[in-house]
Structure 1
Amino acid sequence: MNYQHKHSVGKCSSEKYSITKTDLNKKIINSSIAPAVSGLYEWSEQQLHEELRLDVDGRYPQMIASGTVNINQALIVHWIANLTLISQDTWSGIIKNQYGQAFPYTNVRIEVTRELFPGQHTAKIIFFAGGDSDRTRLFRYKSPFFHPLELEFDTEEGTVPVTTFETHSLDNRPAFLPNETLSISEIFKRAGFDVKISTGNNTVPQADTGVDKKWSYQELHDAMQVYWSHFDNKPQWAIWTFFAASESMEDGHQLGGIMFDDIGPNHRQGTAIFNNSFISDPAPSDINDSNAWTKRMRFWCAIHELGHTFNLAHSWQKHLGNPWIPPNGDLKSEPEALSFMNYPFNQAFNRNPKNFFEKFEYRFSDQELLFMRHAPEKFIQMGNSNWFEDHAFEQKKDQANSQFKLELKVNRENALFQFQEPVTGYLKLTNVSNEPQLVKEKILSDLNGMTVIIKKDEKHTQQLLPYAKYCRKLEKKIIMPGDSIYESIFLSVGKNGWLIDDPGHYTIQAIIQINGENIRSNPLKIRVTPPTGYDQEYLAQDFFSDDVGRILAFDGSRFLKSGNNILHEVTEKLSDRAVSLHAHIALARPLSYNYKIMNFERKAEDLSSQITILPAQPEEARNHFAAALTERQQLAAQTLSHVDYKEYMESYSNFLSNLGEDKEAARIQSVLYHTLSERNVLDRVLHDIKNRQAYYEEKL
């Protein structure tokens, strides 16, 4: 227990403490002898404006200074330094991080002149380059807060928002926790923000949920645009929080709250709390006040989702998390953090919220506070950097006790891809425990239940967002000890655009959740080679489009004609490149069967007239299948992945069998068998191919 906790509950001065030198410094700085000096300082001269954020006393001091240099409101550099107290009101530190233009200074010394009234404080900063004093600024104190913040709380009709909580209303709490009424605004003030509450206070009609009376993410986004009094499609220090009675359409009772706003040009502006979701489930039988338990869950959930709008990841997901490198070293996951960004029912607390709340102090972790107060503004400010951009990778080193191992691989000796070659890998999930394990049957096919992050060297990290969601019947599958399941994964493009398009080095990682545990794959490193000539560079301008991306992701379309035209051109001009095989497959499959297209120009009353049947074109489909699959079998198996190559060859055989060509269908399976046997695939896969070949032969 540190000094701050003992002091906050009013222990008498005669009680003996064990106080370290650091604690003693905090005690002196935090005492009532002199006002705190932490906060925002400014210096200006003509078009040049500089800010200093000093974080050495007050609530949760981080012993950090950060600053910005701006010319005409454009950021030139952002710097961060760890500080050491060298004498009263004087600190020195090494500048650990820089963003923006090169900053020639390596060290900083800060001397504060502390006045009776905080507004009169000044801070002299001396910057050093190579040990020599080179630059001095005298900053004036502006605010005890590091950033502004405006909150607006709106509600669905018939819903009461929970924006405050009485800390002693439940016995399930730390013994040293002060007895106070905490508000959402106070939590963020303690985090370092000058909080203002907007006067919007709108009531959102339940009718906005539509016929199903449930909120979709798009409906939430639309409601935010309509009812948030300060909505604007630009970065601003402002958040809309919506307390809903109705459930989420996507996740129903299981979704307590969400930072839903990743639609449109400006992310991280809106959150929704679903009051009648699982966060309002009955309290455990030994809790003294069930109503207070529910109120605490709603209060915690609201602040948790608000934390995401600051670009904070979950405590155990810092490998995706804050988009920066902290000044004290690598970003570390905090699975046991007693933070708003953790889950009370996480495995670290034996999945029992009581264990979490018995120690929870209603705060963010130091690592999170460091980010919220001192990271470059664009990473934090709502509506600025996108959610899941600039997130760092961390290979988890402590999965030895996990029951599963997840691997992300490609079917080639060296992870080298040609320019424009779509990157298809495969996932392998292995039961590494000594007992059979039960998982969802399609767990590796569900990209919506998986996080896949892709980072090109020197560029922002992005999340692969699938084009479609699939509503499948929930089936379970048993994986025996030592056994594995496999699935291909198309990595190049999603609904947020092409993620692998330029030459260079990329790192890719996948994360799935099984029984509440996050299973992380290895970071897969690949390289994309430069284009080989003018034709490829020229075609790339049209190839990396949304239409082509969708066609490749869905294995073809007869509706997206412009994209098909580009793929035809690829097969003609780049026939020697791996990308041509992907193009042939995407052109073949929709031609192999009668294809339905909805004609939206016809009258809606006559549904039958809206559907046009495009007849199959078997000869053209056959030509594309052959060019993709059997003319260069080894290249096809490599670039399409073993999993997809097998599936495509099965489709090709079925197509031929439906034409009455069972002998040719059997031959295709024979080609598949020999191709994959040369690539050392599993015996059970080869056995399945032999059975399929025999099936076609028996039909002759």
Structure 2
Amino acid sequence: MISGLYEGQDGDSRLALRVDVDGPRPTGRVSGDLFTVAGSTTSYAGSFVVGAPAVRAEGDGTRVEGRGAFTFDTPDRHVTVTVTGRDGTATLAGHDFRLAHSSPYFRSVLLEQDSVAGTVPFVSYGTGSLPAPTGCPARTLSVAAAYAEAGVELTLAPPGVIPVDGAGTDLAWDDAELHHAMTQHFSAYADGPAWRVWLLVASRHVSGYRGIMFDYEGASQRQGSAVFHDEIKGTTPQAQRAQLRTYMHELGHAFNLLHSWQKDLAVPPQPLGPEGGFGDLSWMNYVQNYRPGGEPGYWAAFPFQFTDAELVHLRHGFYRDVAMGANAFGTGAAEATPFEQPVEGDPGLRLELRAKESFGLGEPVVVELKLAVTGGPRATHGHLHPDTEFTQVSITRPDGGTVLYRPMMRHCVDASPQIRLDDRNPAVYRSAYVGHGRDGHYFQRPGEYRVRARYVAADGSRVLSPPCVIRVRPPAGRDDHAVAELMLGEQQGKLFSLLGSDSPALRAGNQALDELLDRYGGHPLAVYARLVKGLNAERGFKALTAGKRLRVRPPDPEQGIEHLSRVVRQDGIDNITLNLVLRRLARAEARRGDLARAGAVLDRMVGLFAAKGVNPIVLGQIRRQADVTRSVIATGL
């Protein structure tokens, strides 16, 4: 067998060459990454892949050759590799490299895993513990062993345990805390590409997710993932199997693998598998959405491996498209194609986008999504918010260019409870802040934008909304200019995405919002600064110390009430966000010890929306939300 990783050098050029023509699951490819060496500095120069090389015996060795696709211009695209024993030669792009076999794996990644005290990290699962598909050999799979089967070596750093100081072990993490934990305490975190990734085993997420690849913004992403022990814990074979799948799935995102039904959103677009991607037998599919058969059908057929196309990406994707901290998730460029209506098919659902008539420059752009039934009753899932990625949003700028909204945090949902849309429940609604995401601010200049959304239904159907026109007004005076500058900073955008944060990495953004409130507190856009400040104060905030101990800043109900009360009194925010603010304000009043005022806030919430004339079905939902909040408050939060 000659497949594996080879390394060689020709002058100041170094080559990492991957030969993949025999051995387990060969993809029939040769690929490589080229680097330039200058003194003690090594810089990335480019990559190539030969998709279908000719392979033939030559003397005591093997000759592999073909025409390659390169990331850089070269007059000669022919690649020739000769392997004899453990050594060989490679000729490509004007270089002749002498090769030495380096590893049976195609790539090697350092995995640093920390766990919060009280959680139990996954170790391994025996695939013969439960019925498996015919032809799937029984073996013991750890996360490292499963990636080894894909040709990727995971080198494990010594694991760390994060003590919990005075906060108990039942701790719910939010996105802001996860992002802060990684940027401050992942020892290998860096502003640049490298083969290393951090996995945090936390107790639970505030929204109940099983896992999240939370490093999804900025220039150096895909370095951090988390799994949530409370959602997948257990020692039964079913629990161990679910843990393996969750760990593999979240780390797969760090390698730039998309969900199975999203590959058409990659740049360049990739073909979807069967059933619009829901039929993929892959770590990257959702088991509950597998078609046909849902979760039972998935496990009855899943061979515990990546698909062939995913295997090609892991082994032979261009360096910057795979290495952590390099190209952005799911794309090699920011431009996208606006969504188009399907050629045929009636899913029985209608998707609409709504927004304010106009926004001031710098004002957070929030849209309301409505999914409604158009005929007889329909069952689908309720994951309408674009952060769960069953819904995507495209934004066409005034200059005609189009970008996809990419959330700062991407949430993986391992449960998709069905909702029934009918005469009694004709529609579901979500509010989404789409003004800032992984690519920064999307509405940075005055003008007219066209926004569309696409929802992937439970049966794989694509439901496309009509365009929603969003107008951004130019500043009308000096104060408008000053406020826009204070709102449009990158850190401020992150704070709006995270609904506030204590992270020192976002200190400048918090200072800008403080300046806005101090100098322009009467400006209409000040309501958004108060929103962020109030929501962040009302909750606690977890942070890891330099010694990787967990410290919790307790909620500050007084500060939360001060800001959120003024948000409620000031116009500007949308109805769904106002609903959230009122429920959090009630929680802050309860934390201050005034249960009567907390109840009054919830009564006011119901009365306010009744006065707005919302339809009776939605008003009934608001009443139920108020009742749930009362019950939570009654249990002592």
What range describes the TM-score normalised by the shorter chain of this pair? 0.5 to 0.7
CA contact (8 A) 2:385 2:391 kept: no
Change (3 A) 1:431 1:139: farther
Q: 1:334 aligns with which of 277, 295, 318?
A: 277
Change (3 A) 1:50 1:421: same
Number of the residue aligned with 1:25: none
Q: 1:183 aligns with which of 139, 142, 150?
A: 142
Post-superposition Cα deviations, 1:261-284, rounded to whole Å, max 9, x if no partner, equal 45888543333333442575xxxx
Q: 1:59 aligns with which of 15, 18, 24?
A: 24
CA distance in 1: counterparts of 2:128 and 2:64, whole angstroms: 38
CA distance in 2: counterparts of 1:421 and 1:159, whole angstroms: 41
Q: 1:75 aligns with which of 31, 44, 50?
A: 44
CA distance in 1: counterparts of 2:391 and 2:28, whole angstroms: 34
Post-superposition Cα deviations, 1:330-384, rounded to whole Å, max 9, x if no partner, equal 576632111111122224142233x222222221112222222233333322234
CA distance in 2: counterparts of 1:605 and 1:58, whole angstroms: 57
Number of the residue aligned with 1:121: 88
Matched letter for residue 77 of structure 1: G
CA contact (8 A) 2:516 2:526 kept: no
CA distance in 2: counterparts of 1:551 and 1:196, whole angstroms: 34
Q: 2:286 aligns with which of 343, 353, 370?
A: 343
Question: Following superposition of structure 1 onto structure 2, how do residues 683-694 of structure 1 map, counting pairs within 5 Å?
Answer: none
Number of the residue aligned with 1:293: 238
Number of the residue aligned with 2:11: 45
Matched letter for residue 284 of structure 2: M
Q: 1:380 aligns with which of 322, 346, 349?
A: 322
Change (3 A) 1:404 1:137: farther
Matched letter for residue 53 of structure 1: R
Q: Which runs of 5+ in 2 are unaligned?
A: 410-416, 500-509, 539-553, 578-610, 617-637
Question: Following superposition of structure 1 onto structure 2, how do residues 644-655 of structure 1 map, counting pairs within 5 Å?
Answer: none
CA contact (8 A) 2:218 2:438 kept: no
Number of the residue aligned with 1:163: 123
CA distance in 2: counterparts of 1:610 and 1:642, whole angstroms: 19
CA contact (8 A) 1:151 1:239 kept: yes
Q: 1:238 aligns with which of 184, 193, 196?
A: 196
CA distance in 1: counterparts of 2:556 and 2:27, whole angstroms: 67
Number of the residue aligned with 2:206: 250
CA contact (8 A) 1:91 1:109 kept: no
Report how far residue 103 of structure 1 moved. 0.6
**TM-score, length-scaled by structure 2:** 0.63
Post-superposition Cα deviations, 1:410-434, rounded to whole Å, max 9, x if no partner, equal 899xxx9999898676645332442
User: For 2:291, what is the secondary structure of its paired residue?
Assistant: helix
Number of the residue aligned with 2:306: 364
Matched letter for residue 238 of structure 1: R
How many pairs align? Answer: 526
User: For 2:52, what is the secondary structure of its paired residue?
Assistant: strand
Q: 2:171 aligns with which of 185, 200, 214?
A: 214
Matched letter for residue 499 of structure 1: Y
Question: Following superposition of structure 1 onto structure 2, how do residues 677-688 of structure 1 map, counting pairs within 5 Å?
Answer: none
CA contact (8 A) 2:280 2:290 kept: no
User: For 2:9, what is the secondary structure of its paired residue?
Assistant: strand
Change (3 A) 1:563 1:370: farther
CA contact (8 A) 1:208 1:223 kept: no
Change (3 A) 1:537 1:92: farther
Change (3 A) 1:83 1:203: same
Number of the residue aligned with 1:15: none
Number of the residue aligned with 1:308: 253
User: For 1:400, what is the secondary structure of its paired residue?
Assistant: coil
Question: Following superposition of structure 1 onto structure 2, how do residues 12-27 of structure 1 map, counting pairs within 5 Å?
Answer: none
Q: 1:274 aligns with which of 228, 253, 259?
A: 228
Matched letter for residue 289 of structure 2: N
Change (3 A) 1:141 1:477: same
CA contact (8 A) 2:378 2:422 kept: yes
Number of the residue aligned with 2:489: 545
CA contact (8 A) 2:210 2:227 kept: yes
Report how far residue 197 of structure 1 moved. 2.3
Number of the residue aligned with 1:137: 96
CA distance in 2: counterparts of 1:500 and 1:308, whole angstroms: 27
CA distance in 2: counterparts of 1:164 and 1:489, whole angstroms: 38
User: For 2:285, what is the secondary structure of its paired residue?
Assistant: coil
CA distance in 2: counterparts of 1:182 and 1:585, whole angstroms: 56
Q: Which has the larger radius of gyration?
A: 1
CA contact (8 A) 1:173 1:359 kept: yes
Q: What is the identity percentage for the equivalent residue pairs of Structure 1 and Structure 2?
A: 23
User: For 2:261, what is the secondary structure of its paired residue?
Assistant: helix
CA distance in 2: counterparts of 1:56 and 1:492, whole angstroms: 47
CA distance in 2: counterparts of 1:239 and 1:535, whole angstroms: 46
Post-superposition Cα deviations, 1:650-674, rounded to whole Å, max 9, x if no partner, equal xxxxxxxxxxxxxxxxxxx9xxxxx
User: For 1:150, what is the secondary structure of its paired residue?
Assistant: strand
Q: Which runs of 5+ in 1 are unaligned?
A: 1-34, 128-134, 281-289, 467-473, 569-582, 629-639, 645-668, 670-683, 686-700
User: For 1:53, what is the secondary structure of its paired residue?
Assistant: strand
Matched letter for residue 151 of structure 1: L
User: For 2:48, what is the secondary structure of its paired residue?
Assistant: strand
CA contact (8 A) 2:350 2:465 kept: no
Would you say 1:204 and 2:162 are equivalent positions? yes
Matched letter for residue 152 of structure 2: F
Matched letter for residue 309 of structure 2: Q
Number of the residue aligned with 2:111: 151
Moved more, 302-311 or 393-402: 393-402
Post-superposition Cα deviations, 1:297-337, rounded to whole Å, max 9, x if no partner, equal 222222122212212221122244x5x437xx657663211
Number of the residue aligned with 2:373: 431
RMSD (Å), alpha carbons: 5.8
Post-superposition Cα deviations, 1:378-427, rounded to whole Å, max 9, x if no partner, equal 33222344546658677695993644232457899xxx999989867664
CA distance in 1: counterparts of 2:556 and 2:52, whole angstroms: 73
CA distance in 2: counterparts of 1:223 and 1:613, whole angstroms: 26
User: For 2:298, what is the secondary structure of its paired residue?
Assistant: helix
CA contact (8 A) 1:83 1:91 kept: no
User: For 1:121, what is the secondary structure of its paired residue?
Assistant: strand
CA distance in 1: counterparts of 2:70 and 2:245, whole angstroms: 32
Number of the residue aligned with 1:259: 213
CA distance in 2: counterparts of 1:295 and 1:614, whole angstroms: 43
Number of the residue aligned with 1:103: 73
CA distance in 1: counterparts of 2:514 and 2:152, whole angstroms: 52
CA contact (8 A) 1:547 1:563 kept: no
CA distance in 1: counterparts of 2:479 and 2:143, whole angstroms: 55
CA distance in 2: counterparts of 1:606 and 1:315, whole angstroms: 42
User: For 1:358, what is the secondary structure of its paired residue?
Assistant: helix
Report how far residue 176 of structure 1 moved. 1.3
**TM-score, length-scaled by structure 1:** 0.58
CA distance in 2: counterparts of 1:420 and 1:250, whole angstroms: 29
CA contact (8 A) 2:380 2:459 kept: no
Q: Which has the higher contact order (CA 8 A, sep 6+)?
A: 2
Question: Following superposition of structure 1 onto structure 2, how do residues 569-580 of structure 1 map, counting pairs within 5 Å?
Answer: none
CA contact (8 A) 1:267 1:383 kept: yes
Report how far residue 561 of structure 1 moved. 7.0
Post-superposition Cα deviations, 1:154-183, rounded to whole Å, max 9, x if no partner, equal 44445543332223232x212212233233
CA distance in 1: counterparts of 2:4 and 2:326, whole angstroms: 26
Post-superposition Cα deviations, 1:35-70, rounded to whole Å, max 9, x if no partner, equal 224434433313x33443333333332233334444
